[in-house]
Structure 1
Amino acid sequence: MQIPKHMKAMVLTGHGGLDKLVYSEVPVPSLEDNDVLIKVAACGVNNTDLNTRTGWYAPSVKSAMTEDIGLNGVAASAPDLGSWDRASLRFPRIQGADATGTIVAVGRNVPAARVGERVITDPCIRDPRRPRHSQGVHYFGSEYDGGYAEYTKIPTGNAVQVNSALSDEELASFACSYSTGEEMLVRIDLQKDETVLVTGASGGVGSALIQLAKRRGARVIAVGGRSKETAIRQLGADEFIPRERNDLSDAISELVGTRGIDAVADVTGGPTFSQMLRALRRAGRYVSAGAIAGPCPEIDLRDLIYKDLQMWGVGNPQSSTFAALVGYIERDEIKPLVAKTFPLEKLREAHAEFVSKKHVGKIVIKV
């Protein structure tokens, strides 16, 4: 196909509010030797997009990701604005981690036969020379231009072919949320018949965790907004606790008794963090991949120490986890959950919808 020299893209011009997203015409990216060029069909919206745009990753920010921050950003005077790895970003930047589309050109070291492949993007760009769990050096749509554009480039290993009858918008709902969720379950080695607590159950990672945990045969206790109980149960949750309850540990005890739960897969953090640890059984496992309800919760180290708890943080899933995820998609073992779609030029409206937290599942941009 004839590839144009310029394309439409939603460009992030700096940290701040929705006004920092500017619909622009920019050059189509040029390829390095190991890159592929993707004609983007759709791209999912994720928390990392808002966290980066608003400056919420800054260590000086102690609050939850509120609707006000999501719309307007944190104080511009904050001294430590940056990205997920607390490194400074270079602007302008094209965000968007979850692109799906078709390869239309390849770099010199990439087989020409890849042209025409339908792919989804593995957003974690790794350095395989580094130790396990520390290989993630860049994130697609953060330190590396992403999928909120008509075309995007990515290293060939991060453009993963997928054979599925799902629509482009459905495929764009998987990469970031589901790979994060699956990596969380890999880290805690969740087993059949174990009980896991899933927080933020209506969001992208939370709704993915329910499906992925049920795929493993686990019992899922989901925490989410009371108004979303029906949708969350339809995803497969065995039990539901409204997040409006202030006594999370008591609510869990009502469901499982005094034994406690086997594991927690937490994507919210916030004031209930210490209650989650309290609800774990001896030698229970806790894993976190998000803190939008508050990044600096209180912890009682006596729970950690005297119950011999195990704790993990997940920011960069392994390539093996992403490969497994693609297999689940192709075998129809997990289902997409697209709440709403927006055209690329309406990305600001999509961010506003996302931060309102009225949806269940993923918001996706059609390109």
Structure 2
Amino acid sequence: MGSRQNIPDKMRAVLLTGFGGIDKLEYRDDVSVPQPSDSEVLVRVGACGMNNTDINLRTRWYDRDVNEGLSEEVGIKGAVGSRKTDAETAGTWKEETIVFPRIQGAAIVGTIAAVGGSVDSSRIGQRVIVDPQVRDLSLPERAQLVAYLGGERDGGFAEYAVVPAENAYTIESELSDAELATFPTSYDTAEEMLVRARLGKGETVVITGAAGGVGTALVQLSLIRGATVIAIAGRAKEARLRALGAHHFVARETSDVRAAIEAIVGERAVDVVADVVGGPFFTESLKLLRRGGRYSTAGAIAGPVQPIDLRDLIYKDLELFGITCPTPETFKSVIDHVASGRLKPLIEKIYDLKDLPLGQTELVKRNHVGKLVIVP
């Protein structure tokens, strides 16, 4: 190993001990501090944002045997529908098994405390924001994801985390670590959704799940592009989303969401749908899109298996984009937006590391606007 600051041998961390409910999260204060390999850095975690991917993985929801939506009950108790053992379950986006125990947490912000042998020791002490996607850039652009922090390798729900040196971006910002931890995972996913859908100035975009982490990111990034935003979320969140800049709001409890949107857009129709919810609205969203419209999705918590009328896709010349692996360029563009002050961090609540189970319980209730963050 290369250079390092004074670092303890043990650290506090929350271990995911297997697939299932909240009870699978175990707080420990005797976990060995990881050691960076030749091309890695050790980050002293200042904050780590919470994301749906943490819930999806813990509950076994990524497994293709599970077809139910990510309800509050599933989020707390775990998914049913699979008789596989933990070792047999394809529990990640890449449909790979997970080695337990695993430290979750993808959205890491902190300070470099040690570096591997091939990493310049001048990086020690740098404040960094971490791209959670570990890539093999020799692979095709949309197939470069080889590991995800908190999934195939340990993440940031701990005092220390090891990441590839190229994933740790130096950040200069007056924002706190907790505020900065709202951006990784959510904002790079949102930016990639809009990049792929080519959302442009003057276009109209419908955003589902607009009050969540990716949703609030989509609202802000769409406004930066000069688009007209129609936000869909729970009725109680309307005032906060309008304050964020959404031009129009449709409550998800509305009996006919599609008709409500059609009443807003009139004959113009919708240019882009940015969907992080999935469920039955998927079918309706294709009917809302104009000819040549674009649908971009990065989530299906309301139900992953939905019907499609291929006549909508074919005869309207629609484009559909699935987003899992934002490019490094996308992550860099988010950092540029953050550094320039164009993006506003939205924190609903900050939790201590030992309170991660409580934080995940609140996350699956979907009462928040913005992000929940862990500070170790």
| Fold match by TM threshold 0.5 | yes
* TM-score for both structures, normalised by structure 2: 0.96
- Give 1:81 shift: 4.6
> Who is 2:320 aligned against?
311
Distance 1:111 1:321 in 2: 25
More displaced stretch, 211-220 vs 54-63: 54-63
Shift of 1:78: 3.1
Residue by residue over 1:234-255, the C-alpha shift from the partner in whole angstroms, topping out at 9 and shown as x without a partner, is: 1110000110123222111101
Contact 1:118–1:162 under 8 Å retained in 2: yes
Shift of 1:86: 1.3
Query: Gaps (5+ residues) in structure 2?
Result: none
Partner letter of residue 117 of structure 1?
Q
| Aligned mate of 1:75, from 59, 75, 80 | 80
Note the 1:141-290 alignment, pairs <5 A: 141-290=150-299
Aligned AA (1:61): V
Question: Does residue 38 of the first structure (1) align with residue 43 of the second (2)?
Answer: yes
Root-mean-square deviation (CA, aligned residues, Å) is 0.9
* Contiguous gaps of at least 5 residues in structure 1: none
Shift of 1:220: 0.4
Using the TM superposition, name which of 40-49 and 244-253 deviates more: 244-253
- Give the drift of 1:83: 1.2
- After superposition, the Cα gap between the structure-2 partners of 1:106 and 1:238, relative to the gap in structure 1 and judged at 3 Å, is same
Name the structure 2 match of 1:125: 134
Q: Does the Cα contact within 8 Å between 2:273 and 2:296 map onto a contact in 1?
A: yes
For residues 160 and 360 of structure 2, the distance between their equivalents in structure 1, rounded to whole angstroms, comes to: 21
Provide Cα deviations, 1:187-230, integer angstroms capped at 9, x if missing partner.
01110110000000000000100000001111000000001000
Task: Work out the CA distance in 1 between the residues paired with 2:82 and 2:122.
Answer: 50
Is the contact made by 1:343 and 1:366 (CA closer than 8 Å) also made in structure 2? yes
Residue 341 of structure 2 corresponds to: 332
Equivalent residues of 2:65, 2:81 under 8 A apart: no
Q: 2:18 aligns with which of 14, 20, 23?
A: 14
Name the CA distance, whole Å, in 2 between partners of 1:250 and 1:200. 18
Question: SS at 1:94's partner residue?
Answer: coil
SS at match of 1:39: strand
% identity of equivalent residues: 50
Matched, 1:95 2:108: no
Shift of 1:258: 2.6
Distance 2:365 2:83 in 1: 24
Once the two structures are superposed, what CA deviation does each residue of 1:9-53 show, in whole Å capped at 9, x if it has no partner?
Answer: 000010001111101121100111000000001100000000000
| Residue 138, structure 1, aligned to residue 147, structure 2 | yes
**Number of aligned pairs?**
367
Structure 2: distance between partners of 1:85 and 1:26: 27
CA contact (8 A) 2:66 2:80 kept: no
More deviation in 247-256 or 218-227?
A: 247-256
The answer to whether the 8 A contact 1:15-1:81 is kept is no
- The superposition leaves residues 57-113 of structure 1 with CA deviations (integer Å, 9 ceiling, x where unpaired) of 111111110111100101385334511221111111000000110001100111111
What per-residue deviation string (whole Å, max 9, x for no partner) do you get for residues 277-320 of structure 1?
A: 00000000000000001101121111001000000000010000
Displaced runs of 4 or more, over 3 A: none
Q: SS where residue 374 of structure 2 aligns?
A: strand
TM-score normalised by the chain length of structure 1? 0.99
Give the Å deviation of 1:260: 1.0
